[in-house]
Amino acid sequence: MSQNIQTLQKEDRVFHPSPEFSARAHVKSMEEYEELYKRSIEDPEAWWSSQASKLVWQRPWDTVLDWSNAPFAQWFLGGKINASENCLDRHVREGHGDRVAIHWVGEPGDTRSLTYADLLRETSRFANALKARGIKAGDRVLIYMPMVPEAAIAMLACARIGAIHSVVFGGFSASSIKDRLEDSEATAIITADGGWRRGSVVPLKANVDEALAAGCSVDTVFVLNRCGNEVTMVEGRDLWWSDAIDGVSDDCPAEGFDSEHPLFILYTSGSTGKPKGVLHATGGFLTGAYSTFYYIFDHQPDDIFWCTADVGWVTGHSYIVYGPMSCGATQIMYEGAPNTPDWGRFWEIIEEYKVTVFYTAPTAIRAFIKAGDSFIDQHDLSSLRLLGSVGEPINPEAWMWYREKIGGGRCPIVDTWWQTETGTIMISPIPGATPTIPGTATRPFFGIDAAVLSADGNECGPNEGGMLVIRKPWPSMLRTIYKDPERFKKTYWGEYEGIYVAGDGSRVDPSGNFWIVGRLDDVLNVSGHRLGTAEIESALVSHSAVAEAAVVGRPDDLKGQAVVAFVTLKAGYQHGPELAKELKIHVGHEIGAIARPDDIRFSQLLPKTRSGKIMRRLLKEIVSKGEVHGDTSTLEDFTALAALQKED
Ligand code: PRX
């Protein structure tokens, strides 16, 4: 194991935060971080209570943590809380109703600014519209929206009445919606006619109609008018957002729910074909979102924050909606693509709104590098004071470029490691304190007992590769996989007793910095998005020509990993470029464009072990090195290797 994970990367550039940055920061020095971290790990319950108590609770909790039924944690038991109240009412009550919550920029250039008072009014109204359609606490509501303020309003309206939202990324296809509907048994969908993406309209409502064609549990579809494209409305089931809130009261009292009341389900890829419904609970999730946003983005009242993620991913949940809004931040929300109308779009927005804190993904940074500096040089980015990165390991070259070109050499970079399951950031620099080194997410957040363990369960020595784990429960941890507690136990807690296994390989350097190497399971990271190889394989096999498929990742300069599919055909089908193209389109239709294979390689047979398992290790070697160097002695059929051929 350690050989597989070990990296020989040597990086000795160290960057300290400037004295000016540290002087104003919430945590001002490494000594302060060390002291606070030590205390937080010695008594995590005290630390997390101190953070939870910064939120508004309608009833205080009696018990901080119940871990007696591990790995099923319960946090802040007895406490009653409303997430929407914490994100909206609280700020209005405290006199900040006029503060802008969202400066929104549509892809075609239209803009809107909504204050906290505006958001509270619109959320309350829409929450009443949900109630009017019979939606109540505990019901599941699927949200399939473009990046418009109503996406956040829809989430907060669900939270307000205790309905459990499940956001599906707008780039996913009808069949992905259908799978998620079947699993969540949602009774309502909130969508839009369309959303703008690279100058075209993504037909969101039409995708919903296709997903619903086979019939299911949904009896209400709310449709926001965003693009004005033609849609079909089904009588009795579908209603326009504007009609739903017309004449509806904007008074919707925020009822307190049990801390453990589910806040949302977010589906994510695992190593089987079926996406996992990661379930998060209200009080704990909000505590983590608030605390990490406050410390890691060093939130200051005059900040203009911008997280470029989509609300369809966990980053959008934690660092567009619940983290920034529970802290009362002002933020940017942008609807479209970074290269529309050209690669200067982000920099133009930063200049215009004087963004101070900017959070994006390494894949976007690499795309900006490729596009060339001319798009940046025309813009004044001097308002920026802090930069963040998330989604995949950031290569040192991209890190340095980000620091120099975007951060003007003066902004600390927080490389934040976390997952859909962890809910909020687990490992990251604290920007006023931590010395940063390109390529490492540095140190665990307060209260997070991260470590790297070897297969036998011992803690690895300095620079020795192993499995990244978290040894103590934390409030924003997933509570279970929706309707599948056995899979929850097996996936995350099966390896070591009471210890969370993240599925990533890592090492810790002698200074205590964590270097994340990447997934150890059959999960790919394509442009910072998680895709299970099994999901793509089952999409391929659902095509009439395909007998068997094996999908692996190939290192890619832009996307991090590219998707390569090895395919065997049923008798009577001819391989060739036409079929390869058809299969790529088919996968795009089954899952979404991000899952479309970059290469399709046809083969007579796939290399398998004697027990019939596909030998992905060999396939990975073929795609990354072009030939096989590893041990092939367990191959069922050696000829299979020679027969693999590329077909684009
Ligand atoms: O492999 C790690 C990688 O993304 C995975 C989590 O993906 P997802 O649940 O979609 O959440 C992405 C946004 C939080 C992790 O298991 N990952 C995420 N951030 C980093 C990272 N790998 C290295 N460095 C990071 N900063």
Res 302: pLDDT: 97
Tokens at residue 450, please? 């991260």
pLDDT per residue as tens digits for the range 387-435: 999 999 999 999 999 999 999 999 999 999 999 999 999 999 999 999 9
Euclidean distance between CA atoms 355 and 220, whole angstroms:
38
pLDDT per residue as tens digits for the range 331-340: 999 999 999 9
Please state the atom number of ligand 1 nearest to the C-alpha of residue 389: 26
Distance 5 CA to ligand 1 centre (A): 17
Distance 191 CA to ligand 1 centre (A): 27
Please state the atom number of ligand 1 nearest to the C-alpha of residue 441: 26
Helix axes 282-296, 44-52, angle to 10 degrees: 90
Euclidean distance between CA atoms 520 and 536, whole angstroms:
18
Euclidean distance between CA atoms 46 and 40, whole angstroms:
7
Q: Whose CA is nearest to atom 18 of ligand 1?
A: 391
Res 608: pLDDT: 78
Res 637: pLDDT: 57
Tokens at residue 155, please? 């989430």
Q: Position of tokens 């109204």?
A: 125
Res 308: pLDDT: 97
Distance 172 CA to ligand 1 centre (A): 19
- Best residue among 315, 359, 419, 436 to mutate for probing ligand 1, ranked by most atoms within 8 Å of CB: 419
Distance 244 CA to ligand 1 centre (A): 38
Q: What share of the chain is helix, strand, coil (3-state, %, to 5)?
A: 35, 25, 45
Contact 151, 192 (CB under 8 A): no
Distance 359 CA to ligand 1 centre (A): 14
Spatial CA neighbour of 141 closest among 73, 88, 219, 83: 219
- Best residue among 416, 504, 507 to mutate for probing ligand 1, ranked by most atoms within 8 Å of CB: 504
Tokens at residue 166, please? 């499940």
Q: Where are the beta strands (DSSP E) in 418-458?
A: 450-453
| Contact residues for 633 (Cβ-Cβ < 8 A; gap 6+) | none
Q: What is the dihedral of CA 123, 140, 332, 295, to 10 degrees?
A: 100
**Which helix (H) or strand (E) segment is 357 a member of?**
strand 357-360
Whether the model pTM is above 0.85? yes
Please state the atom number of ligand 1 nearest to the C-alpha of residue 519: 1
Distance 421 CA to ligand 1 centre (A): 10
Euclidean distance between CA atoms 65 and 67, whole angstroms:
6
Res 214: pLDDT: 80
Cβ < 6 A, ligand 1 pocket: 268, 314-315, 390-393, 415-420, 441, 502-504, 516, 518-519, 525, 530
Res 270: pLDDT: 80
pLDDT bin (cut points 50, 70, 90) of residue 492 is: very high
Euclidean distance between CA atoms 498 and 621, whole angstroms:
35
- Best residue among 392, 415, 436 to mutate for probing ligand 1, ranked by most atoms within 8 Å of CB: 392
Spatial CA neighbour of 143 closest among 133, 128, 158: 158
Distance 419 CA to ligand 1 centre (A): 5
Res 101: pLDDT: 99
Comparison of pLDDT for 528 and 180, the residue scoring more: 180
Decide if pLDDT at 622 tops 90: no
Distance 393 CA to ligand 1 centre (A): 8
Contact 308, 320 (CB under 8 A): no
Q: Whose CA is nearest to atom 21 of ligand 1?
A: 392
pLDDT per residue as tens digits for the range 276-324: 999 999 999 999 999 999 999 999 999 999 999 999 999 999 999 999 9
| Contact residues for 563 (Cβ-Cβ < 8 A; gap 6+) | 524, 526, 531, 536, 551, 553, 554, 595, 596, 597, 598, 599
Torsional sign, CA 127, 240, 179, 271 = negative
Q: Taking residues 123-135, what's their average pLDDT?
A: 98
Q: Taking residues 341-364, what's their average pLDDT?
A: 97
Helix axes 533-541, 577-590, angle to 10 degrees: 120
pLDDT per residue as tens digits for the range 531-575: 989 889 989 999 999 998 999 999 999 999 999 999 999 989 988
Residue 286: what are its φ and ψ, rounded to 5°? Answer: -65, -35
Query: For the purposes of burial, counting CB atoms within 10 Å of the CB of 409, is it exposed (0-12), middle (13-18) or buried (19 or more)?
Result: exposed
Tokens at residue 299, please? 């939130």
pLDDT bin (cut points 50, 70, 90) of residue 211 is: very high
Res 627: pLDDT: 61
Distance 464 CA to ligand 1 centre (A): 21
Tokens at residue 103, please? 């400066």
Torsional sign, CA 392, 395, 396, 397 = negative
Distance 547 CA to ligand 1 centre (A): 32
Distance 392 CA to ligand 1 centre (A): 5
Q: Taking residues 612-633, what's their average pLDDT?
A: 73
pLDDT per residue as tens digits for the range 583-595: 999 999 999 999 9
pLDDT bin (cut points 50, 70, 90) of residue 382 is: very high
Q: Whose CA is nearest to atom 10 of ligand 1?
A: 530
Res 628: pLDDT: 59
Distance 40 CA to ligand 1 centre (A): 24
Distance 197 CA to ligand 1 centre (A): 24
Q: Taking residues 108-128, what's their average pLDDT?
A: 98
Euclidean distance between CA atoms 517 and 507, whole angstroms:
8
pLDDT per residue as tens digits for the range 354-373: 999 999 999 999 999 999 99
**Which helix (H) or strand (E) segment is 526 a member of?**
strand 523-526
Res 643: pLDDT: 61
Please state the atom number of ligand 1 nearest to the C-alpha of residue 394: 24
Euclidean distance between CA atoms 426 and 288, whole angstroms:
10
Q: Whose CA is nearest to atom 14 of ligand 1?
A: 419
- What are the C-alpha distances in Å from 606 to residues 57, 555, 620, 634, 641? 57, 21, 13, 13, 8
| Contact residues for 205 (Cβ-Cβ < 8 A; gap 6+) | 191, 192, 193, 194, 221, 223, 231, 232
Decide if pLDDT at 386 tops 90: yes
Comparison of pLDDT for 527 and 80, the residue scoring more: 80
- What are the C-alpha distances in Å from 642 to residues 195, 563, 600? 46, 21, 16
Distance 422 CA to ligand 1 centre (A): 10
Q: What percent of the chain has pLDDT over 90?
A: 85
Q: Position of tokens 């589906």?
A: 267
Please state the atom number of ligand 1 nearest to the C-alpha of residue 425: 14
Q: Whose CA is nearest to atom 12 of ligand 1?
A: 391
Res 216: pLDDT: 79
Q: What percent of the chain has pLDDT over 70?
A: 95
Q: Whose CA is nearest to atom 7 of ligand 1?
A: 419
Res 614: pLDDT: 81
pLDDT bin (cut points 50, 70, 90) of residue 215 is: confident
Least confident of 132-136, 236-240, 619-623: 619-623
Give the helix ranges, DSSP H, for 239-394.
241-245, 282-296, 314-316, 323-326, 345-353, 362-371, 374-377
Res 620: pLDDT: 87
Q: Whose CA is nearest to atom 22 of ligand 1?
A: 392
Distance 505 CA to ligand 1 centre (A): 11
Q: Concatenated DSSP letters for 113-125?
A: EEEHHHHHHHHHH
Q: Whose CA is nearest to atom 6 of ligand 1?
A: 419
- Best residue among 402, 525, 526, 535 to mutate for probing ligand 1, ranked by most atoms within 8 Å of CB: 525
Res 165: pLDDT: 98
Distance 519 CA to ligand 1 centre (A): 9
Q: Whose CA is nearest to atom 5 of ligand 1?
A: 419
Conformational region of residue 503, where left means phi above 0, alpha means psi within -120 to 50, and beta covers everything else: left
Residue 332: what are its φ and ψ, rounded to 5°? Answer: -100, 140
Q: Taking residues 515-526, what's their average pLDDT?
A: 90
Please state the atom number of ligand 1 nearest to the C-alpha of residue 415: 26
Average confidence score pLDDT of the chain = 93
Spatial CA neighbour of 267 closest among 258, 279, 256, 257: 279
Res 3: pLDDT: 42
pLDDT per residue as tens digits for the range 404-415: 999 999 999 999
Contact 647, 600 (CB under 8 A): yes
- In the chain, what are the domains? 523-647 (3.30.300.30)
Buried b (16+ CB within 10 A) or exposed e, 181-196: bebbebbbbbbbbbbb
Euclidean distance between CA atoms 350 and 304, whole angstroms:
9
Q: Whose CA is nearest to atom 23 of ligand 1?
A: 393
Residue 579: what are its φ and ψ, rounded to 5°? Answer: -65, -35
Res 9: pLDDT: 54
pLDDT bin (cut points 50, 70, 90) of residue 1 is: very low
pLDDT bin (cut points 50, 70, 90) of residue 4 is: very low
